C-alpha cells in the first residue's frame, strides 16, 4: 500500500533507530524463539508510536532500511502492517483478536464510479453475505457504512491503526462503526477499485475467516476459492446496485494491506482494456489505429526491486494486454523518467512518441475532447 516518497532526508531519531535495530535483529535471528522475542519488542515499540501518531519516526526507519538493509526493511514493513491493522482487546471478561479486512470491488465504466455512504438496508444485506460466505462462524464484525476509493482510505499507518482500534471496539460491543469524517472527493478514472472496510473479531485462538475453520480442509487454495465463488455469486448483484453503469468483479476479501495490494495488481489490466475501449469509441477508430507509448517513471532501483519475482516484466505484461485488445502499434522507451506533474492542474505528465513529457489529452479535433485522460 505505502509507497516511499522522494523527499528530503528525515531526521533519524532514537525511535527510528530502535525500530530499525529491532527489525534487523529479527532478520538475523537464528531461531524462532529468538525471532519471537525480538518481534514482541518491535510490536510494543510500534504500538507506542502508532498510538502517539508518530508517523515520521516510522517513515524514517523505513526509508533508512530501504536504502541500507532490504531484509530488515521487509521485516519492519510486515510488522507495521500487522500492528496497524490488527489488535487484541478485552471485553466482558474475554479476550478477542481483531483484524481489519478490505473487501475489494473492481469497477470499470465510461461514466463515473460511485463511492460514499451505503444505505442501511443495502449494508445489512451485504453484511449477511459476509457472515454467510467469508467470515468464520462465531465472529463479530463492524462494517464501515461507505464504499471507498483508494484515495479515501487511511493515508498513513497511524490513521490505519486508529481506524482499526475504533472499529474493533465497535465490533466487540455491537455498536455501529464510527468512521467519523466525510470522505474527500475522488478522481475520475475509467477503471478503479472500490472497497468495503470491516473489522472482524473472534475470541483469541478462534478462526476469523471461513477458510481458517477446522472443517474447511487443509488446502487454502480450494477453500478460499469456494468462498470467493459463493461471495461473487450471492453478493455480486447487491454490490452491482451500488455501482450503477459499471462492470464489476469481486475479489477475495482479506487482511487489509494484502487485499489492497491484490486489488491494485488486478485493476491494472482492466484499466488498459477500459482505456482502449474508451478511445476507440470516442474517436470512432479501430484498436489497430491507436499508437501506444510505454515509458517508465520513477526510481529505477526501486522498480527493479519490485519486479524481481515477476515472471514477465511490467512492460511485457502491458504489451500482452494491449495486443489482446487489438492494439499493434506499440513504442517502447528505454529511458526511466522522473515523475513530473503539471504546474497548473497537478495532473501527471506522460511521454509521447518524440520522448517529450506532455499531458495525456484527447486530440483537438475530437468532438469528445473533455480534457485530460486518466
Q: Are strands 94-108 and 86-91 parallel, antiparallel or unpaired?
A: antiparallel
| C-alpha to C-alpha distance for 55 and 44, rounded to whole angstroms | 15
Residues 224-244: tens digit of each pLDDT: 999 999 999 999 999 999 999
Domain ranges across the chain: 14-84, 87-259, 285-358
Q: Given pLDDT bands bounded at 50, 70 and 90, which one contains residue 365?
A: low
Beta strands at 329-337 and 291-297: parallel, antiparallel or unpaired: parallel
- Tens of pLDDT along 269-290? 999 999 999 999 989 999 999 9
pLDDT surpassing 70 at residue 265:
yes
User: What does the pLDDT read at residue 366?
Assistant: 58
**In this prediction, what percent of the chain has a pLDDT beyond 70?**
89
Provide the pLDDT for residue 313: 84
Helices (H), 286-361: 300-306, 314-325
pLDDT of residue 85: 98
Report how far residue 290's alpha carbon sits from residue 190's, in angstroms, rounded to the nearest whole number: 17
Spatial CB neighbours of 158, under 8 Å, sequence gap ≥ 6: 50, 53, 54, 55, 58, 84
Mean pLDDT rounded to a whole number for the chain: 89
pLDDT tens digits for 73-82? 999 999 999 9
Residue 116 burial by Cβ neighbours in a 10 Å radius (0-12, 13-18, 19+): middle
- Shortest CA distance to 166 belongs to which of 157, 179, 153? 179
Average pLDDT over residues 349-354: 90
Half-sphere exposure for 82 (CA within 13 Å, toward CB): 13
At 153-201, the pLDDT tens digits run 999 999 999 999 999 999 999 988 876 567 888 888 999 999 999 999 9
Model confidence over 2-41: pLDDT tens digits? 444 444 445 689 999 999 999 999 999 999 999 999 999 9
Model confidence at 123: pLDDT above 60:
yes
> Which phi-psi region, left, alpha or beta, contains residue 205 (left: φ > 0; alpha: ψ -120 to 50)?
left
102 confidence band (pLDDT: 50, 70, 90): very high
Average pLDDT over residues 332-357: 89
Amino acid at each position: 500500500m505505502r509507497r516511499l516518497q522522494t523527499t528530503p532526508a528525515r531526521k533519524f531519531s532514537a525511535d527510528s533507530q530502535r525500530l530499525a535495530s529491532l527489525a534487523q535483529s529479527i532478520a538475523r535471528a537464528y531461531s524462532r524463539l529468538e525471532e519471537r522475542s525480538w518481534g514482541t519488542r518491535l510490536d510494543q515499540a510500534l504500538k507506542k508510536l502508532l498510538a502517539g501518531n508518530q508517523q515520521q519516526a516510522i517513515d524514517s526507519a523505513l526509508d533508512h532500511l530501504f536504502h541500507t538493509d532490504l531484509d530488515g526493511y521487509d521485516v519492519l514493513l510486515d510488522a507495521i502492517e500487522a500492528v496497524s491493522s490488527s489488535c487484541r482487546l478485552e471485553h466482558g471478561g474475554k479476550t478477542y483478536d481483531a483484524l481489519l479486512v478490505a473487501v475489494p470491488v473492481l469497477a470499470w465504466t465510461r461514466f463515473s464510479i460511485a463511492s460514499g455512504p451505503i444505505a442501511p438496508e443495502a449494508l445489512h444485506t451485504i453484511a449477511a453475505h459476509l457472515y454467510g460466505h467469508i467470515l468464520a462462524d462465531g465472529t463479530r464484525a463492524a462494517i464501515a457504512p461507505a464504499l471507498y476509493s483508494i484515495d479515501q482510505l487511511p493515508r498513513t499507518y497511524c490513521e490505519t491503526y486508529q481506524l482499526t482500534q475504533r472499529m474493533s471496539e465497535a465490533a466487540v460491543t455491537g455498536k455501529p462503526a464510527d468512521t467519523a469524517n466525510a470522505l474527500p472527493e475522488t478522481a475520475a478514472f475509467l477503471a478503479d477499485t472500490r472497497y468495503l472496510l470491516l473489522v472482524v473479531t473472534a475470541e483469541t485462538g478462534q478462526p476469523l475467516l471461513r477458510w481458517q475453520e477446522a472443517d474447511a480442509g487443509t488446502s487454502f487454495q480450494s477453500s478460499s476459492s469456494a468462498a470467493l465463488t459463493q461471495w461473487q455469486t450471492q453478493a455480486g448483484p447487491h454490490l452491482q446496485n451500488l455501482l450503477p453503469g459499471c462492470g464489476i468483479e469481486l475479489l477475495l476479501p482479506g487482511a487489509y494491506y494484502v487485499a489492497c495490494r491484490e486489488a491494485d495488481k488486478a485493476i491494472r489490466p482492466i484499466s488498459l482494456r477500459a482505456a482502449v475501449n474508451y478511445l476507440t469509441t470516442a474517436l470512432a477508430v479501430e484498436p489497430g489505429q491507436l499508437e501506444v507509448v510505454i515509458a517508465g517513471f520513477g526510481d529505477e532501483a526501486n522498480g527493479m526491486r519490485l519486479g524481481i519475482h515477476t515472471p514477465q516484466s511490467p512492460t511485457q505484461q502491458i504489451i500482452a494486454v494491449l495486443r489482446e485488445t487489438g492494439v499493434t502499434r506499440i513504442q517502447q522507451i528505454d529511458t526511466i523518467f522522473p515523475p513530473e506533474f503539471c504546474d497548473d492542474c497537478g495532473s501527471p505528465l506522460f511521454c509521447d512518441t518524440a520522448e517529450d513529457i506532455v499531458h495525456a489529452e484527447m486530440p483537438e479535433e475530437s468532438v469528445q475532447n473533455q480534457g485530460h485522460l486518466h
